[in-house]
A and B are shown apart, each in its own frame.
Chain A
Amino acid sequence: MELLKMTDISKSFSGVTVLSHVDFSVEKGEVHALLGENGAGKSTLMNILAGVHQRDSGQIVFDGEVMEDISVQKTEQAGIAFVHQELNLFNDLKVYENMFLRKEILTKLHTLNKSAMIARARELFESMGVDIEPDVLVSELEPSKKQILEISKAIFANAKLIILDEPTTSLNNNEIDHLFGIVRRLKEQGKSFIFISHKMNEIFTIADTYTVLRNGCFINAGRIADTSPEEVTRMMVGNSFSAEGVYQKRELGDVVLSLEHATGQGFEDVSFQVRKGEVLGMTGLKGAGVSQTMQTIFGARPLLGGKILINGKEIKHENIHLAMTEKVGMIPSNRKENSIIPDFSLLENNYVSEHTLSSRRQYINKKKELAIFEKHKQALNIKANSPDDSILSLSGGNQQKVILARWLTTQADILLLDNPTQGIDVGAKAEIYKLIMDLADQGKTILVNTLEIPEIQKIADRCAVFYHGHIQTILPREEINEELVMLYATNVRQATEEQNG
């Protein structure tokens, strides 16, 4: 029996089509995997279902009823629950308090009937086979239990369809098994799930059916049993992309950065070497440990084991300044939170790092700084009026270029770029790739972390693929293609190799 049927859904944001005539349906009592790359339109489709966005055209039928103007409240009442990646739990309240929020059971005196609520919660958990104590603080629960608590909340609110958006990102393998156990049990009780994930092995473990979207279009749907991870990956990626003319072949120098069995928060036993002038692409799904590896090289996180050597010299302490004196620079992800000094001008933002290296001479020679900034401004093609303008007056791409200039001003030789094209429009992205290539040509060593594999294809000499804190493989340039990288990043490739070998 069909529980949800979305037909011919289209949606565009300010003229850009993000969903075009998409069909999507879910049966009662099944786990349906919704697949697609970043930007394929999965979130938009789910947000339309959840009432966050309004569709431009198309029809939605849920549980036999046509749903017209959908609001978040209406979908909740209809029995659709959206478990977001960032959980909507109150950490400082207890488990049962979270469940009964605004649905509290009261005593005759209109005070909270705590024992009744705890008993009801315990009853529900038992029926679901969940091992959570209702009387503990949510902050004390493990990540998987929080995830399960969210699902329990949905069940408690009589949800028939539960949307799980990348629920396993912060879970370890045991926790994932536990979560899947609960999902299976609820499935048997007739609940339906939409499961959004990139991880192929999980999809093939838990899902019954799938739908693939690509660039806002419906590509295919079917039964998981009738397909393979390789085929699904091909459907997700398509063969539209080719790496066009940014990359230039260069002579690489000596090894300047090497990690030997490095272990830190979020990654384990990571080893690789990078040569002068090399561009190393690094990729992995969210939480795979790439970002943490970069931050550890930069000294922003502690190194818990192994070695990091820069120009053959071991860097021992968690110390950003030490990394900087070894000519390492990092553009962190999340520009607004981690890079930009919002009250500073372009010039001040540009010089803030250099100042820490030259702090013995305290006087600021503005004339000299302006001259050097002007040089970088032209080299990086930063579009701005005056160096004294606020950094916030620039577009995202130009802000990022100022941050890049910040590290060029410190004369850093090793640049760690963590998601450098985040929140930047397409034209500016292309410019940033070109700059990366030019800098590498000038002998800078560049590590780029990105989830977008076409980016890596454009610029990287090699690509390290991370999965769950480990390097799965380091592919040479010739072998970098989206499908293969995806297979490694989702751990499909590793598994098949083990079977074969």
Chain B
Amino acid sequence: MDNKTVKTKKSIGTIASNYSFVLIALGIFIAYLIVNGGATTWSGVMNILRHSAVVGIIAFGMGLAIITGGIDLSVGSMLCLVSSFGVVVFNATGSIFVTLLFTLAAGALCGAINGVLIGYAKMPAFIVTLATMLIYRSVAQYYLRTTGVSIYNMNGTLSRYNAFYGFGQAKFLTVPLVGIVLILVTVLMVFMATNTKFGKTIYAVGSNERAALLAGIHVDKTRVLVYVICGLLCGLSAFLWMAMNGSVDPATLGKSNEMYAIAAVVIGGISMAGGKGRLLGVLFGAMSYTIIDKIIASLGVDALINDTIKGTILLLAVFIQIMLPLLRSRAKAK
């Protein structure tokens, strides 16, 4: 019985189910091309990359947390909190570099709080990040109220403002810089997951925690680090958001982003049970959702239908992931 599974390992069906995220993203992209028809432009396509950046980078953090068997519901609120205070720091210092350092450090700190509670205090990840999801956004909103304005606005009169905002809009060889950052993060994450010992550790913890522990892995430390990385990526996302938009509304920024990130991870083929899945899928999962936004925009239908379609695609993706192996084993049985 076990031998059969070996032989089918490399079959086309397996590859299709391992890389179903490519098929899904491709299907949605073709739908986009059809809807847009002759109006499709290169810069329009490149914009998909740009608009995938913020959620995409967050989704990589989410992917790591899910691979360890956990989850991070606080990503949207971390994005909100870090970028809100990022605006304050930029306005106070006028330095892009200091702002970048701040967003990364603040993100890592928020993640570390999650990580210590989950890894060392052994509290359930769902509950911890649910709580910090409420806390982080509330802090951002509360602090804003004390300043007496309605949104965090970057000070346009600062000398570095144009350079900062310009970075968010700039292109290198027609490719948006923000999109390039997303690609770099993807490369880095995929490399970490597949070619480093730490990457393997993350999978081991999610696959069999007890065995990982008895094999000498520092399970607690691994968990903490994963949430720190997740926070760090949220910090980077916050920096990109500021560059792209110049302002932050803490009431709305990052709302439901945790859900989109989870969806991107799931569409990317990462198992919610932990231990398996390719991080590359996260990029495709995130882009799939951005393309849906574009399709709805070009169709000119009410944007409120957006989540209906996204939800349906999510169900469809999971359905395919569950059905493909079943169909394969059934075909094998015959």
Contact = CB atoms under 8 A, between A and B. Distances in A.
Interface of A: 298, 300, 320-321, 324, 330, 332, 337-344, 348, 351-353, 355-359, 361-364, 385, 389-390, 392-395, 406, 410
Given A321-B216, A338-B214, A385 B197 contact: no
Nearest to A330: B214
A364 B9 CA distance: 24
Contacts of B195: 363-364
A403 to B, nearest CB: 9
B203 interface: yes
Contacts of A330: 214
A399 to B, nearest CB: 10
Interface in B1-54: 2-3, 5-6, 9
A344 B203 contact: yes
Interface string B204-233: 101110111111111000000000000000
18 contacts: A338-B210, A338-B214, A341-B203, A341-B204, A341-B211, A342-B275, A343-B206, A352-B200, A352-B212, A353-B215, A357-B216, A362-B197, A364-B196, A364-B197, A385-B6, A392-B5, A393-B5, A394-B2
A362 B211 CA distance: 21
B212 A393 contact: no
Given A343-B276, A392-B5, A393-B3, A332 B201 contact: no
A338 B218 contact: no
A352 B204 contact: yes
Contacts of A393: 2-3, 5-6, 9
Nearest to A392: B2
Contacts of B208: 337, 340-342
A406 B200 CA distance: 15
Q: Which residue, B9, B196, B208, B276, has most C-beta atoms of chain A within 10 A?
A: B208
Contact of B207 (A300, A344, A410): A344
Given A362-B196, A392-B2, A394-B2, A341 B207 contact: yes
B167 interface: no
Interface string B69-82: 00000000000000
Nearest to A389: B6
B215 A352 contact: yes
A55 B197 CA distance: 53
Given A362-B196, A385-B6, A392-B2, A337 B211 contact: yes
A332 B210 CA distance: 11
A343 B201 CA distance: 12
B199 to A, nearest CB: 8
Nearest to A364: B195
Interface string B143-184: 000000000000000000000000000000000000000000
B6 A356 contact: no
Nearest to A396: B2
A251 B268 CA distance: 58
Contacts of A300: 213-214
A406 B214 CA distance: 12
B215 A406 contact: yes
B216 A337 contact: no
* Consensus secondary structure, chain B interface: helix
Given A339-B214, A352-B217, A390-B9, A344 B204 contact: yes
Contacts of B198: 359, 362
Contacts of A363: 195-196
A340 B216 contact: no
Nearest to B67: A343
Contacts of B5: 390, 392-393
B1 to A, nearest CB: 10
Given A340-B211, A341-B208, A390-B5, A321 B200 contact: no
B2 A356 contact: no
A364 B194 CA distance: 9
Nearest to A393: B6
B283 to A, nearest CB: 21
A353 B197 CA distance: 10
Contacts of A298: 214
Contacts of B9: 389-390, 393
Nearest to B208: A341
Contacts of A406: 215
A350 to B, nearest CB: 10
Nearest to B213: A320
A353 B216 contact: yes
A321 B276 CA distance: 25
B311 to A, nearest CB: 28
A392 B2 CA distance: 7
Contacts of B218: 321, 356
A62 B275 CA distance: 52
B2 A355 contact: no
Contacts of A340: 208, 211
Contacts of A392: 2, 5
Given A321-B216, A341-B215, A363-B195, 5 more contacts: A343-B207, A355-B200, A390-B9, A393-B3, A410-B216
A344 B212 CA distance: 11
Q: Which residue, A348, A353, A356, A357, has most C-beta atoms of chain B within 10 A?
A: A356
B211 A355 contact: no
Contacts of A358: 197
Contacts of B217: 352, 356
Contact of B2 (A332, A357, A361, A395): A395
A6 B198 CA distance: 60
Nearest to A362: B196
A361 B195 CA distance: 11
A385 B215 CA distance: 24
A389 B10 CA distance: 10
Nearest to A329: B216
Nearest 9 CB-CB pairings of A with B: A355-B197, A343-B207, A343-B275, A393-B6, A356-B216, A362-B196, A343-B276, A353-B215, A352-B215
A389 to B, nearest CB: 6
B273 to A, nearest CB: 10
Contacts of A364: 195-197, 200
Contacts of B207: 341-344
Nearest to B275: A343
A324 B196 CA distance: 21
A324 B213 CA distance: 12
A260 B210 CA distance: 29
A342 B275 CA distance: 9
Contacts of A356: 197, 201, 215-218
Contacts of B200: 344, 348, 351-352, 355, 364
A376 to B, nearest CB: 16
Q: Which residue, B5, B204, B211, B275, has most C-beta atoms of chain A within 10 A?
A: B211
Interface in B73-113: none
Contacts of B3: 393
Nearest to A359: B197
A382 to B, nearest CB: 14
A271 to B, nearest CB: 25
Q: Which residue, A300, A364, A394, has most C-beta atoms of chain B within 10 A?
A: A364
B4 to A, nearest CB: 9
A293 B213 CA distance: 18
Contacts of A394: 2
Interface string B272-283: 000110000000
